[in-house]
Chains A and B, each alone.
Chain A
Amino acid sequence: MSRFDWLSEYLARLEDDHLIARHGDNRALAPAHRLELDAEDWGPAGRIAAAMGLRHAGVWADPLGPGPMESDTEIEGPAIRVQACLEQGGDYLILQTLVSQARPVLGSHTPAYPGVDRLERHAQDLTGVRFLRHPDERRWTRHQAWSADDYPLRADFPIEGRSAGRTPADVDYPFTRIQGSGVYEIPVGPVHAGIIEPGHFRFQAAGEDVLRLEERLGYVHRGIEKIAVGRDPQGLIRLAGRVSGDSTVAYAWAAAQAMERAAGCAPPPRATSLRALLAERERIANHLGDIGAICNDVGFAFAHVQCARLREQWQRRSAALFGHRLMMDTLVPGGVAYGLSETGFRELRLDHAALHKTIEPLFDVIDDHPSLDDRLIGTGILAQADARALGCTGYVGKASGLDFDVRRDSPYAPYDQVRVEVPEETAGDVAARVRVRMKEVRASLWMLDRLLDALPEGEIAVPFPRPEEGAMGLGLIEGWRGEILCFVRFAEEGRIARYFPRDPSWFTWPALERLIHGNIVPDFPVCNKSVNGSYAGVDL
């Protein structure tokens, strides 16, 4: 089948609606195709994409500053470029447009794509782009650290901010209320009861049943996008590896991939294979930890202890071979920082076999244990329609019948050389998410051995050439949570002008709000753990 068979139809439909789309330089954001739109066509283009069933993979704004403009526009003064990513069948399309910083107004995509609600509000809070007809006018990432008419990502905003005083709590955030007899509210967080990240959950409940859950995040906003500006490629990878620590390899890879595409640099085959090895190790470690934690949330300590011990052994091997228990800082622009010795190779083989042998009986127990079944089956069901509407990827999407996986559907090296098994379940409940994760552990373990079988010889890194000023790159990596998108634009001297990483959790956090509906309050922890959105990954 020819790739991208939906693009011509999309273009035709745009034309039917008298929208003008110009083709951008297609190497610039490969593998995505690029369409340049007029600002007033932005909203309708989103609506048409939604009508065609394309998945929205996120939107971000890029204040271009006062520097030289690349295209001939009528915009006077500084401009902001807004880009959105659409996907279907593994083909990606970037829509882009320019607005003036003085009057940055665009039609919102949220009415057609509820999943981008918070991404648009994030862009508004940080760059000042206003999305008209957005159904929710409230701030999202901004609490009280800067004022409503300040936009941290604009060039004129000082990195140290404008106030040195204490930052008050964001007490006035207008939560949605439900009223009725017997309806009560449970506020939770930002400091939670366990060892977890901070965020606020507002439950409206009647009796035990959750009527509504509203999330309020942004507590761990660390200004990642701002402090990325001016870094060199190596510095960006170090920062990327700390956006969401549990996905350090995937983030580092996404940033490396975006920068390498922008610079026209191809990492050697041995390096990409080793990156995949690290990424699959990361997937296994996190799934093991989470499967155990989900079981623990329903009082099944046995699985928790077993999974925790396996995870610990796994991390120790990572430390021994790759210098770090979470494999932080193992990637460099142009390759990887650690090779794999003959002994390391053999040790991995033995590990894989041993883990395989251990998980089989363990997963058998988890898969069919009456007390787990009681609590996990039918709990926290995410309907396929909701998962699709929100654009969920990763195990959340896969457990609700959406089997998209970047490694298989838009393969990047070395996944173009190895078979990627993508598990799919349809029940959409906590049990289905656990099953998907167990299958992914098995699949990754199998894949690890195939990667070792075919591990190419040669260099593990090549020198990273200096990218041209204005060069852009898109990184698309299947992290353990799902698709991670990363946008990079370079300034002069190979410095970063814009870094935007989009975590899959942007779409699964709203999914949690939907799937908790009608469940009982005490089941929230297990539902939450089964989704396990990253706070740090979306707060940035």
Chain B
Amino acid sequence: MLFSEPRQAEGSWVSSPSRLAITLPYYYETRFSMFRILKQSLRTGVVTEAAPSHNDAELERLGIEVRRHIDARFGGSLAIRQVDAGSCNGCELEIHALNNPFYDVERFGIHFVASPRHADVLLVTGPVSRHMETALRRTWRATPSPKFVIAAGSCACDGGEIGVSYASCGTIENVIPVDVKIPGCPPSPVDLLKGLLGALEIDR
């Protein structure tokens, strides 16, 4: 059962909010909220899962293609700037999921940053809409070298359902150089994680 009742802290003191009655009335409300929060958190326990395996065969099975080797190490930490270049937003939902407690990418030193100037990696989704073409090029130029581009999602890798048209440039590769491709519509968080971990290890 996916929704298993997590291990509960037996006889835990937080399960008795009645003790709160003795706190000062002024703080009562806040405190009560705090206890409810603690209770819920303890009930939930730790849900983070072990890292997925990401050996070469696995990466190959996922079709993750390594085009270029990067010259410098990222020091075990990867700063990612995500760019939606024309996605349907499905890919973004799954990239978001990387931050949920099950995957918790931050524990691998992978974090999402707000500016391309802080980024090692551009994680680009969607086909590149023509209206985003220049913005994507500029974002790429604003990213300091050595930089690394990951195309995430079928649209980004091969054009997906959208392809090339008056409105779409098609794949990311048609606009900027791509190092790693993570296909899938959208790629699952596990696929994304494998791709990212694979990218981290490329130069090791």
Q: Are B131 and A167 in contact (CB under 8 A)?
A: yes
Residue A146 lies at the interface, judged by CB distance under 8 Å to chain B: yes
CA gap between A320 and B135 in the complex, in Å: 38
Q: How far is the CA of A21 from the CA of B132 in the complex (A)?
A: 44
Nearest CB of A to B41, in Å = 7
What string of 1s and 0s marks CB contacts (under 8 Å) between A343-369 and chain B? 000010011001100100110110011
| B88 & A245 in contact (Cβ 8 Å cutoff) | yes
Q: Are A222 and B168 in contact (CB under 8 A)?
A: yes
Contact with A along B80-94 (1 / 0, CB 8 A): 001111111111111
Q: Within the assembled complex, what's the spacing in Å between the Cα atoms of A303 and B39?
A: 13
Residues in chain A near residue B5, CB distance under 8 A: 354
The answer, among B87, B97, B163, B185, for a CB contact under 8 Å with A312, is B97
Q: Who on chain A is nearest to B142 by CB?
A: A191
CB < 8 Å: which of A248, A347, A370 contacts B90?
A: A248
A residues within 8 A CB of B92? 195-197, 245
> Are B166 and A351 within 8 A (Cβ)?
no
Tell me whether B29 is interfacial, beta carbon within 8 Å. Answer: yes
Task: Please determine whether B160 and A197 come into contact, CB atoms closer than 8 angstroms.
Answer: no
Please tell me which one of the listed residues B47, B96, B112, B131 contacts residue A143 in the complex, with CB atoms under 8 A apart: B131
- Are the C-beta atoms of B87 and A361 separated by less than 8 Å? no
Decide: A197 near B84, CB < 8 A? Known: A145-B166, A222-B162, A369-B33.
yes
Closest to A223 in B: B167
B95: interface (CB < 8 Å):
yes
Contact check, B102 vs A289: say whether CB atoms are below 8 A apart: no
Contact A196 B84 (CB under 8 A): yes
Task: Please give the residue numbers on chain A whose beta carbons come within 8 Å of chain B beta carbons, in ascending order.
Answer: 143-146, 152, 157-162, 166-170, 190-191, 193-198, 218-223, 226-227, 238-239, 242-246, 248, 289, 302, 305-306, 308-309, 311-313, 315-317, 319-320, 325-326, 328, 347, 350-351, 354-355, 358, 361-362, 364-365, 368-370, 534-536, 539
Across the interface, which residues of B come within 8 angstroms of A170, CB to CB?
Answer: 131
| Residue contacts A-B, CB under 8 angstroms, 6 given | A143-B131, A152-B166, A223-B168, A306-B40, A308-B100, A309-B101
Which residue of the partner chain, among A220, A245, A306, A313, contacts B93 with CB atoms under 8 Å? A245
A222 and B129: CB pair below 8 A?
yes
Contact A220 B165 (CB under 8 A): no
A154–B162 Cα distance when bound, in Å, is: 19
Digitize B149-163: 1 where CB-to-A-CB distance is under 8 Å, 0 elsewhere: 000000000001111
Among residues of A, the one whose C-beta sits closest to the C-beta of B5 is A354
**Closest A residue, CB atoms, query B92:** A195
B135/A191 in contact, CB under 8 A? yes
Q: Give chain A residues whose Cβ lies under 8 Å from the Cβ of B161.
A: 227, 238-239, 242
Say how far A417's CB is from chain B's closest CB, in angstroms: 27
- Tell me if A145 and B91 are in contact (CB < 8 A): no
Known contacts A309-B47, A536-B89; A157/B33 CB under 8 A: no
Residues of B within 8 Å of A313, CB to CB, are 2-3
- Given known A167-B130, A220-B84, A222-B168, contact A198–B135 (CB-CB < 8 A): yes
The residues of A that contact B145 with a CB separation of less than 8 Å are none
User: Interface extent on B, as a size class?
Assistant: 35 or more
Known: A168-B134, A354-B1, A364-B36. 16 other contacts (CB 8 A): A145-B131, A145-B166, A160-B166, A161-B165, A162-B166, A195-B82, A198-B135, A220-B132, A242-B162, A309-B44, A309-B101, A317-B2, A328-B185, A358-B3, A361-B40, A536-B88
**CB pair A245 B114 closer than 8 Å:** no
When C-beta atoms are compared, the residue in chain A nearest to B115 turns out to be A193
Are B2 and A152 within 8 A (Cβ)? no
Cβ < 8 Å to A, chain B residues 160-202: 160-169, 185-186, 188
Given contacts A308-B100, A311-B100, contact A160 B165 (CB under 8 A): yes
The smallest C-beta distance from A182 to any residue of chain B, in angstroms, reads 27
**Complex contacts, B129 vs chain A, CB 8 Å:** 219-222, 539
With the chains together, A413 CA to B104 CA distance in Å? Answer: 40
CB-based contact B88/A243 at 8 Å = yes
Closest to A189 in B: B135
Cα distance A227–B167 in the bound complex, in angstroms: 10
Distance, CA A246 to CA B95, complexed state (A): 13
CB distance from B2 to the nearest CB of A (A): 5
On whether A167 and B133 interact (CB within 8 A), knowing A193-B115, A243-B88, A289-B96, the answer reads yes
Residue of A nearest to B82 (CB): A195
* Contact B88–A219 (Cβ < 8 Å): no
| Cβ-defined contact, A246 with B90, below 8 A | yes
Chain A contacts for B3, CB-based, 8 A: 313, 350-351, 354-355, 358
Contact of A370 with B166 at beta-carbon distance under 8 Å, contacts A191-B83, A198-B132 already known = no
Residues 66-118 of B contacting A (Cβ, < 8 Å): 82-97, 99-102, 112, 114-116
Could you say which residues of chain B place their CB within 8 Å of the CB of A350? Answer: 1, 3
